[in-house]
Amino acid sequence: MFKTSCAVLTTALLCSGFPAIGQQLPDGPGKELAEANCNICHTLLSRVGSGYTANGWSTVLRMMVNQGAPLPADQIEPLKAYLIQSFPEKGKPDGVVIPGPAEVSFQKWQVPTPGSRPHDPLATKDGALWYTGQLANVLGRLDPATGKFTEFKLKTPHSGPHGLQEDHDGNIWYTGNTGSLIGKLDPKTGADTEYPTPEQGDPHTLIFDKNGILWFTMQNLNRIGRLDPESGEIKLLTPPTANSRPYGMALNSKGNIFFVEFGTNQVGSIDPKTMEFREYRLPDAASRPRRITITSDDIVWYSDYARGYLGRLDPATGKVTEWQSPSGPKSEPYGISAINDIIWYSESGSTPNTVVRFDPKTEKFQSWAIPGGGNIVRNTSVTRDGNFLLANSLMNDITLVTIKRD
């Protein structure tokens, strides 16, 4: 089990090396604790990225404990003090706040299990707010009217719940990112039905097409999956480009599936009827689109995580237009949604993280700092009332952005 736990945590904390892997840990009180406890699943220096805030390191340590790391309780505080001192958050741009015409209010809720790493949020048709507790192996449901949380423990340990979708019957479907499965949770009974993927891999984002077929990406395996809920049959398809790393998904008005290819500078699509792929190359070779949304005119919008851009693709012509995100090239735009054909997204690399609004008609940005800082908002959802829902992984909370309307 601990090998599985290590795999889950390594995947969850994967980030660029800082400092280089061959270097020694910095000297200081607690160094020996880090050497003994933080190199079991992977080398510490290969996973600290650009560092973390004090709250971030608290969450990371709790994640380790959730995944079975043998960390004695009396070592947590001195180890945390060493990590905070040795690897503070740095190199991130300031979150830029731009005034504008829209008014919003923020409300956030701390999820019950520390170190859950809320990954994807989902606003369901009954008004509930859901999230995947990736490192607590739970799906969480919040009633925003009462503040009551319900957590549903999943069948397979350390399955790494990731993406979320609701079907017509109110069942909640999820991807088991490290369990290599698709799951269906019945909220009424708590029954958890699992559908293992034919090839061992990393189910990521999922979406229903107009015929009720569930599609999903498998980033590192480079597959697009198709699951028929009636039969349970899963088919895996391979995009034309090797190592394209299919990531976020969206559905257009014609029923075609669009997805971004995080391993290259392309957006892909697949026709559910013919199973034919098409790929659209973005102008800059350094582009790495991560999430995607589609407006009512079937224009595709993507967040270019690597370059800090918001992008617009017209699939009919292949024309691409891009705008620098307000906090700059290192702002790491990530989760993105269209609300009444206005684009809303998160900057996950800025300090603090921001919520950004872009009006395609005026080509004007507006932005807000997320209260409490936000920390790595990976995906977003839209409520039945047209509000914006976020999950904050390292803050261990979910945040509702209510948009004032006339």
Averaged pLDDT, 312-341: 98
Assess if residue 267 is contained within a domain.
yes
Average model confidence (pLDDT) for the chain?
91
The last residue of one of the domains, among 32, 55, 86, is: 86
| Distance of alpha carbon 158 from alpha carbon 7, whole angstroms | 9
From 401, 320, 340, 397, select the one nearest 367 (Cα to Cα): 401
For residue range 127-151, list pLDDT tens digits in order: 999 999 999 999 999 999 999 999 9
* Same domain membership, residue 119 and residue 65: no
Residue 372 has pLDDT above 50, yes or no: yes
Of the ranges 58-67, 211-220, 254-263, 266-275, which one carries the lowest mean pLDDT score?
Answer: 58-67
For residue range 69-92, list pLDDT tens digits in order: 777 888 888 888 888 888 888 888
Output the DSSP codes for 224-282: EEEE-TTT--EEEE--SSTT--EEEEEE-TTS-EEEEETTTTEEEEE-TTT--EEEEE-
Count how many Cα atoms sit within 13 Å of the Cα of residue 356 in the half-sphere of its side chain.
33
Sign of CA dihedral 5, 10, 13, 19: positive
For residue range 155-179, list pLDDT tens digits in order: 999 999 999 999 999 999 999 999 9
From 88, 210, 188, 190, select the one nearest 138 (Cα to Cα): 190
Q: Which residues contact 72 (CB under 8 A, 6 or more apart)?
A: none
Assess if residue 36 is contained within a domain.
yes
For helices 54-66 and 2-12, the axis angle rounded to 10 degrees is 150
Averaged pLDDT, 269-297: 98
Assess if residue 342 is contained within a domain.
yes
Q: State the CATH number of the domain containing residue 245.
A: 2.130.10.10
Q: Could you report how far apart the first and last alpha carbons of the chain are, in Å?
A: 54
| Distance of alpha carbon 266 from alpha carbon 41, whole angstroms | 33
* Same domain membership, residue 140 and residue 80: no
Question: Looking at residue 220, what is its pLDDT?
Answer: 96
Averaged pLDDT, 253-259: 98
Q: CA 290: distance to chain centroid?
A: 9
* Same domain membership, residue 120 and residue 53: no
Sign of CA dihedral 155, 110, 356, 342: positive
Residue 11 has pLDDT above 60, yes or no: no
For residue range 20-77, list pLDDT tens digits in order: 334 588 888 888 887 777 765 556 665 676 788 888 888 888 888 877 777 788 888 8
* Same domain membership, residue 388 and residue 305: yes
pLDDT band at 14 (very low <50, low <70, confident <90, very high): very low
* Same domain membership, residue 82 and residue 120: no
Beta strand 319-324 pairing with 309-314: antiparallel
Residue numbers of the domain that contains 199: 104-403
* Same domain membership, residue 341 and residue 197: yes
